[in-house]
A and B are shown apart, each in its own frame.
Chain A
Amino acid sequence: MIEIRDLTVKFKNGVTAINHASLDIPPGIYGLLGENGAGKTTLMRVLTTILKPSGGSVSLDGIKYEEKNYEMIQRKIGYLPQEIDLYPMLTVRECMEYLGELSGLDKKTYRSRMEYYLEKTGLADHGKKRMRQLSGGMKRRAGLVQALLSDPRFLIVDEPTTGLDPEERIRIRNLLVDFSRERTVLFSTHVVEDLAATCSRLSVMKKGEFLYSGSVKGMLERAKDHVFLCRTDDEMLIRQLSKKYHVSSRQYTEKGMQIRLISQEKPQAECIPCEVTLEDAYIYMMNFGV
């Protein structure tokens, strides 16, 4: 369990990346959504002890984030940063072994975990390839394997599915779900679909604050009666609606164009309320707040 209370992160240039934010992250997968620059990565850097907050407090399983506890906290954390270039001249297996050694794990432990996770991420057959020879998706998977090597109590993954094909994404999502049993996984992504498929709880960040924290169901509930489906062939009408309301999707169908509108009140057009998706709820939340 991670407890964040009144957390503030101010940079030297005066930018406030996180502004008096409070949050509880329970065991299981916890999603983190937000636009670019919302403060997601800053939050993760605080949780990994890379960044010291300017104010507020954070604790992990009751251990306070203080300099004297950092070593103990760091041993409980696994982290996959958004951008990472693992040793390009080493093979995948050499790289994992090396990072296992640096983590202070014994040879037998890191080797067995490495084999297990390489298998799970579909990298076992690529173990002899150099890191620089891997595709973007494979590098992402290798990054995830290194984060899992120390069997962390708290896993932080920043955009783990970036650059992965649909099959790989599902594989990684399932791996994270399996891993989150009795552990905590903080899953940050732009891909709402990934969160819908894995998380039951999530937070939405905007400008350093949490717009929403709670269950996925609760978030969908908030956007209920604010999502409408409109079918029309009239290009002018579509243009007018697009200007006036937030459009979450456009789709060409045999019966003309179908658009999903997000609005506080029923749009002034022929449309029907429809089932809310997490993407709709996210757009509603970002534009109309809580």
Chain B
Amino acid sequence: MKKEMKICLPPYKIGYALAFVLILCVIRSVVYEAEIGAAMDPLISLLALVFCADTYAAEASSGRREILRLAHPGKVAAAIKRRMMLKMLYLLLIALLSYGLFHWQKPLCASAGEGLLLWAVSVVSLAGSILFWGGLSNALSTLCRNMWAGISLSFLLWMFLFSTAGQSLGNWNVLSFAFRNIGDMADISWLPGKILGIGAGVALLLLNPLMIKKRG
């Protein structure tokens, strides 16, 4: 695991991801605490799709793919899965840090209980987004054998889903959490989109060994 951390979390990646969330909580203004999760969700998705795109594609660009073809397929797939998990865990940790840092703007807070509920809901939503967008960009990069293709295609989908046209998907939009009614604490209409995203993210992770076998 230590070696995998060194491989998938080099200092430059740790640095730019951290810088992204720090800048995010400085430049994205929020008035209400309930806005924080909604403000972060699409932008953390954007970070995840860039951050995870090279998880397997880096093996191809470095020429290591050719020697990994001769290694044990199951162990290679498990290693890639571990790297994905580490990256996603790191993204979630810095997203949580960013959530806390948003409070420097002194948003209008709900009660302590409501604040905790908002935090918990945001964590679930952010985890779902990281899982979906990270899994998608890695899968597309593996299939296209090119990190930039994976990033570009995922970004196009992100742009569509975050646009007015994307809002027409309603509650089935994986970014539906960002469009929810923040004034209504009981609103869970965004759940279908999030569940769809989590399901698709898990499926992409499970299908990754097959993608590596066919296109790796």
Q: Is the CB of B71 within 8 A of A103?
A: yes
Residues on the B chain within 8 Å of A99, using CB? 67, 71
Instruction: List, sorted by A's number, 14 A–B pairs whose CB atoms are closer than 8 Å.
Output: A48-B70, A74-B69, A78-B70, A81-B67, A84-B62, A84-B64, A86-B64, A87-B3, A87-B64, A90-B3, A99-B71, A102-B71, A103-B70, A103-B71
Cβ contacts B68-104/A at 8 Å (1 or 0 each) = 1111110110010000000000000000000000000
Q: Is the CB of B73 within 8 A of A71?
A: yes
Residues of B within 8 A of A45 (CB): 66
Measured between alpha carbons, how far is A147 from B66 in the docked complex, in Å? 11
List chain B residues, Cβ under 8 A from A88: 10
Return chain A residues, CB-CB under 8 Å to B27: none
Contacts of B76 in A (CB 8 A): 102
Q: How large is the interface on B (under 10, 10 to 19, 20 to 34, 35 or more residues)?
A: 10 to 19
Assembly CA distance A94 to B3 (angstroms): 7
**DSSP majority for the B interface?**
helix
Residue of B nearest to A78 (CB): B70
Distance (whole angstroms) from the CB of B9 to the closest CB of chain A: 9
- Cβ of B183 within 8 Å of any chain A Cβ, yes or no, is no
| B15 located at the interface, meaning its Cβ lies under 8 Å from any Cβ of chain A in the complex | no
> Given A48-B69, A71-B73, A79-B67, is A87 in contact with B79 using a C-beta cutoff of 8 Å?
no
> Do A98 and B3 touch across chains, with their CB atoms under 8 A apart?
yes
Given contacts A71-B73, A77-B70, A79-B67, 10 further A-B contacts (CB under 8 A): A74-B69, A83-B63, A84-B66, A84-B67, A98-B3, A99-B67, A101-B75, A102-B76, A103-B70, A104-B72
Does A8 sit within 8 A of B, measured CB to CB? no
Give A1-36 interface residues, CB cut-off 8 Å to B.
none
Return the CB mask of B195-207 against A: 1 if under 8 Å, else 0.
0000000000000
CB < 8 Å neighbour of A104 from B10, B62, B68, B75 = B75
In the complex, A50 has a CB within 8 A of chain B: yes
Bitwise, A156-198 to B at CB < 8 A (1) or not (0) is: 0000000000000000000000000000000000000000000
A91-106 CB mask vs B (1 if < 8 Å, else 0) is 0001001110111100
Residues of A within 8 Å of B69, CB to CB, are 48-50, 74
Contacts A49-B69, A79-B70, A147-B67 given; does A89 touch B7 at CB 8 Å: yes
A89 contact set on B, CB distance < 8 A? 6-7, 10
Cα(A45)–Cα(B70), bound, Å: 11
- Report the nearest B residue to A75, measured CB to CB: B70
Complex CA–CA separation, A201 to B64 (angstroms): 30
Instruction: Tell me if A85 is interfacial: C-beta within 8 Å of chain B.
Output: yes
**Chain A hits for B62, CB < 8 A:** 84-86
CB–CB B7/A90 < 8 A? yes
Min C-beta distance of A29 to chain B, whole Å: 20
